[in-house]
Amino acid sequence: MINGILTKACASASRGAAWRFRHKVAAAVVLLALAGGSASGFAAEPAGSAGATIENLYASLLATMRNGSVLGASGRYAQLAPVIRQSFDLPYMARLAFGFGWSRLTPMQQQQVTESYGRYMSAVYAERFDSYHGQRLNVTGARQDAPLGLIVTSKIIKSDGDPVEVDYLMRQNGGRWAIGDIYLDGTISEVATHRSEFAAILKRQDFDGLIAALDRKAEMLTGTAARAD
């Protein structure tokens, strides 16, 4: 399924949801504003350990893919959820995806968003990486990308040999490197896409509606009831 999902995501985003590099400066202003105006999360540290975060994530994804049919959706979710929590800076990503209204939430509500977002991300990855048919997931390098920060670059080689560039914005979190955003095809920000989706939900509903929508989507993707992990 990874082939179809990556192709669909690239095609859909190119029709208007693309996060193009010509907009990176404006995007960084938004990111820094939401992060409190500081770029300290993008510390200029050796990139090796940041690349290791992605390599470990890819090793776990491949192991899950190779046993995907045996594990089933709920089993893949159970196997990947702790990996996602370890590899991603979920509080940071949830805050950016929620948008400028984050500061008006109570600490308990912020925790709810972060937990539901983590379940949702785990479910998305359990669906995307559901089976193995010779795909390759390779870290290809790292670069400092002003004004965003450290980017770890990678390629996912689909079973038909078609490569897809998947890059990761890395942040220092508790003394370790964690993922702050994913750029599909090198340009399409996953967090920006989620922010647009969240804004649409919040416009129609309220905070509780967003939490319900995230938990419902996670349950639909994996067949597991939403719960605190």
pLDDT tens digits, one per residue of 149-194 = 899 999 999 999 999 999 999 998 888 999 999 999 888 999 999 9
pTM of the model: 0.79
According to the model, what pLDDT value does residue 15 have? 41
Least confident of 26-35, 83-92, 175-184, 218-227: 26-35
**Number of domains into which the chain is organized:** 1
According to the model, what pLDDT value does residue 115 have? 97
Question: Is residue 186 in some structural domain?
Answer: yes
pLDDT digits (tens, 9 = 90+) for 125-136: 999 999 999 999
In this structure, what CATH number is given to the domain that contains residue 86?
3.10.450.710
According to the model, what pLDDT value does residue 229 have? 40
User: 225 with 78: CB under 8 angstroms?
Assistant: no
According to the model, what pLDDT value does residue 1 have? 59
pLDDT digits (tens, 9 = 90+) for 77-131: 999 999 999 999 999 999 999 998 999 999 999 999 999 999 999 999 999 999 9
Question: Is residue 109 in some structural domain?
Answer: yes
Question: Is residue 6 in some structural domain?
Answer: no
Question: Is residue 117 in some structural domain?
Answer: yes
Higher per-residue confidence, 1 vs 212: 212
DSSP letter at 47 equals S
Question: Is residue 5 in some structural domain?
Answer: no
Distance CA 42, CA 173 (A): 10
Other residues' Cβ atoms within 10 Å of the Cβ of residue 5: 14
Helices (H), 35-106: 48-66, 68-87, 90-98
Q: In the chain, how long is the greatest CA-to-CA distance?
A: 48
Containing structural domain, residue 93: 47-216
Strand pairing report for 136-145 and 163-173: unpaired
Cβ neighbours of residue 10 closer than 8 Å, sequence gap 6 or more: 164, 184, 185, 188
